[in-house]
Structure 1
Amino acid sequence: MSVVVPVIMSGGSGTRLWPLSRASHPKQLHALVSEMSMVQETVMRVSATREDFDIAPPIIVLNERQHELARLQLTELGVAPSHYVVEPVARNTAAVAAVAAALVAREYGEEALVLLLPADHHIRDGDAFHAAITAASSLAESGCIVTFGIQPSAPETGYGYIERGNRLDPGYRVKRFTEKPDVATAQRFIATGDYYWNAGIFMFGSGTVLAEMDGHCPDISSSSRAALADASVVDDLVVLCAKRFGECPSNSFDYAIMEKTSKATVVPADIGWSDVGAWSALWDIAEDKTPEGNVARGDVHFVDTQNSYVMTNGRRVGVVGMDNVVVVVTDDAVLVSDGSRTQDVKALVTALQDEGRSELL
């Protein structure tokens, strides 16, 4: 079996988890689900020794603001990524995939497999995750580009959906992608039993994706490869060329490749997955809810309150007579939200950006 090289995307800012998540200290560098930060959890998950496949040290892709803290956290674990790749500007996941494929092809050969995954997802079942990697690797070795599909548990409108096509061994051909449908459409998708949530986790041969990107998005491919070729390299630190990378169009791997390629496949992955995309997701996955359904992080006191999530940096917070609320207290900001509206925190962040507020950084 080909070597599997995990490439962990850690450059996002996690705007929907403001005010805890900031540009210089985003959600993946916080301990939100366990005592480890999310990037630490992700690295440990893919660094586990396996007999069924050969897994290489991970590559971490992130931005300059986050590099030093991420390095400190991984050093604390005793984990040494092969490279920290610094993006001078944000250019979305297609550019990351192109850089990752080029770097892996250069160091391991074009037969090596890239496991491209976000640093800010929670996966409860590590054994099932590794079983999904094993299944995906057999497809990727045959020239497929594999995405991990999550069985929908509700008609979520914030996720992309994958319609499965012909059966493969293992997995399925991808018939169609649909990005963030409305509730009625999502309900119809779930009723058919033929749809999965798109987890944003991919596996592919480095040579396969480079060829597909040359064909479907040559501007992204050429700019990304040039940024890597002209990068500044000091030991394990690879700083992409700002000029070359800045010329790269911004697009997602889903739009640039997965919706265009004939090689798209999906492997069902029952792994206890959450993208931790909003405060409500942290309430969903919390295993220490009170009998009233409340979750407290910090010095919190509830009175006649149900189904609520409260996080505080140390200040005493009291919540009285509420149902389904989220309260987050940091040193310089307080968020109060209806629990069903936490996706709209992104709109609040946009307003803060328009005002040039420093609380975003």
Structure 2
Amino acid sequence: MKLVSVVLSGGAGTRLWPASRQAFPKPFMKLGGKALLEQAISRGQSCGTEDLFIVTNQDHLFLTQGLIAEMAQPPKVSYLLEPKGRNTAPAIALAALAVAEQHGRDAVMLVLAADHLIPDTAAFVANSLEAARLALQGQLVVFGIRPSGPETGFGYVEVAEVGDQAQAVIKFVEKPNLETAQGYLATGRFFWNSGMFCFTAGAMLDALAAHAPQVFAAAQAAAATSSVESGQGATEKVTRFDPHAFGLQPDISIDYAIMERARNVSLVPAKFGWSDVGAWPAVADAHTANGNGNTMACDSHIDWVDVNTSNTHVHIDTQGHKQVVATIGIHNAVIVHTPDALLVADKAQAQDVKKVVEALKQRHIDSAQYQSTILPSSVNRPWGTYTTLKEEGGYKVKRITVKPGQRLSLQYHHHRAEHWTVVRGHGLVQIGDEKYPTGPGEYRYIPLKETHRLSNTGEEELVLIEVQVGDYLGEDDIVRLQDNYGRA
């Protein structure tokens, strides 16, 4: 049996704002010390998969590559890069075409979401191997989660008999109201739809042809326009699609397109704990609570003084030096502090964080409030990161890091001059036609409209402080002349 992992890494995770942003979505958030995407990849590896297919937005390629490069045992990866999101049916259709081409129609696809939390790996492996056996018999398998309550935020799957055995699916149903969910719970025959599946590539392609021919035809057309290039490693493949052909694919879920229509659908009841980490209370549940039910997540040691505080989660992500957080008389709340945003919410209304993001997006696109839904405070780029430390009228201060062997684009600006001071590492600064080796404590001035470039020539990370001065300091005031990452 050839078993491959297919990880769907999409979505913005708007209910986890401000930690999750469009340019740094939920799959890259860390829980238990590891990003959710890394955990999903590792689960597939635990099932014996050596080949991995990741369907993700093209803008997240370098983030994903960086994450995988840091894994102790990185898998052999094929990336399918979406110019824009088109829902799960097109994503799975393109993955099935790619898997069938590389490994044959009989290859078993273990389709996983990149943003789920599953602590019990052994139980997950046992269920996955059970699902794979059913897949080899021609079944389209969905992993069902035994409901812990009348949840209205999940879709449900109905089976004929009460029990923990794998069995045929009677029907899929959409997110119910509370009364309907309570009725489902009472029967014992309804499971939450986990959004994880298992089937052979051939079975899925046959199902697409039979039940969703428009999806199938559009995926074939998109695949025909694709181009394949080598990635960072010898075994890494990167598939890019023509944006126009890709955009012609229907925006439809795999549930609507296939699972609700096919007759060969089975459900494997999950024997593992599961969370889709859909909102901040779920994040809190993933942490160990103190005696008052309080939980905390932060990158550095911070003392939390919780006076008369209970059932509250605090998430701290700052660039500055923060030693103490104090709460008094706070109950059933979520407090999230990032360098550019602060969220304080009642846990019971945590689903409404999405409304905050929607409100911010309705504001002017150039405003800082709108940008706070897109870019995190520390922005990842293929060459490193930049963090805005201070911004006022006429100037902006950034901390910039450049990875060893990487360099920024050759560029110039219409509206700003820049002052660079290296604080760690060694680089080569090009200004016009001149190049200057620059080390710790050394300074370079970039005049307005002068071409310039920064390269890390050392073996450690290069860190510099950049001060921009000008009448406009937006990120779009960059004219790229040459670029190693295809952005010129």
Q: Shorter-chain TM-score category?
A: over 0.9
- The amino acid that maps onto 1:296 is M
**Normalization by structure 2: what TM-score?**
0.70
Spell out structure 1 runs of 4+ moving beyond 3 A: 166-170, 314-317
| 2:35 paired with 1:37 | yes
Aligned pairs for 1:274-313 within 5 A = 274-286=275-287, 288-298=288-298, 299=302, 300-313=304-317
Structure showing the higher strand proportion among its residues: 2
Change (3 A) 1:223 1:302: same
| Distance in 1 separating the partners of 2:224 and 2:268 | 33
Q: Is the 8 A contact 1:11 1:66 kept in 2?
A: no
Which residue in 1 is equivalent to 2:387? none
**Partner of residue 70 from structure 1, selected from 61, 64, 67:** 64
Cα pair distance change 1:49/1:121, threshold 3 Å: closer
The answer to whether the 8 A contact 2:50-2:75 is kept is no
Q: 1:291-319: per-residue Cα shift (whole Å, max 9, x none)?
A: 00000123333211100111011444322
**Cα distance in structure 1, aligned partners of 2:203 and 2:150:** 34
Aligned residues: 354
Equivalent positions of 1:241-320 (< 5 A) are 241-286=242-287, 288-298=288-298, 299=302, 300-314=304-318, 315=322, 316-320=324-328
Question: TM-score, normalised on structure 1?
Answer: 0.94
Query: In 2, are the aligned partners of 1:3 and 1:56 still within 8 Å (CA)?
Result: no
Aligned pairs for 1:1-361 within 5 A: 2-31=1-30, 33-48=31-46, 50=48, 55-77=49-71, 78-165=73-160, 171-235=166-230, 236-286=237-287, 288-298=288-298, 299=302, 300-314=304-318, 315=322, 316-355=324-363, 356=365, 357-361=370-374
Q: 1:343 to 1:89 in 2, by over 3 A?
A: same
1 or 2 for the larger relative contact order (CA 8 Å, sep ≥6)? 1
Query: Percent of pairs identical after alignment?
Result: 38
1:66 is matched by which residue type in structure 2? H
Shift of 1:63: 0.6
Q: Which has the larger radius of gyration?
A: 2
CA distance in 2, matches of 1:119, 1:49: 16
Question: 2:143 is paired with a residue of what secondary structure?
Answer: strand
CA distance in 1, matches of 2:11, 2:89: 14
Deviations 1:100-126 (A, max 9, x none): 110010011111111111010000110
Q: Hey, what's the Cα distance between the residues in 1 that align with 2:326 and 2:272?
A: 36
Listed one character per residue, the Cα deviations across residues 86-144 of structure 1 (whole Å, up to 9, x for unaligned) are 10111000011100110010011111111111010000110110111111112111111
What displacement does 1:49 show? 6.0
* 1:308 partner letter: T
Give 1:329 deviation, angstroms: 0.8
Question: Helix, strand or coil: the match of 1:319?
Answer: strand
In the alignment, structure 1 segments of 5+ residues that lack a partner are: none
Determine if contact 1:60/1:81 at 8 Å carries over to the other structure: no
Gaps of 5+ in 2: 231-236, 375-488
CA distance in 2, matches of 1:25, 1:39: 12
Q: Which moved more, 1:351-360 or 1:59-68?
A: 351-360
In 2 relative to 1, CA 157–108 (structure 1 residues): closer, same or farther, beyond 3 Å? same
Deviation at 1:200, TM superposition (A): 0.4
Which residue pairs with 2:442 in the alignment? none
Give SS of 1:360's match.
coil
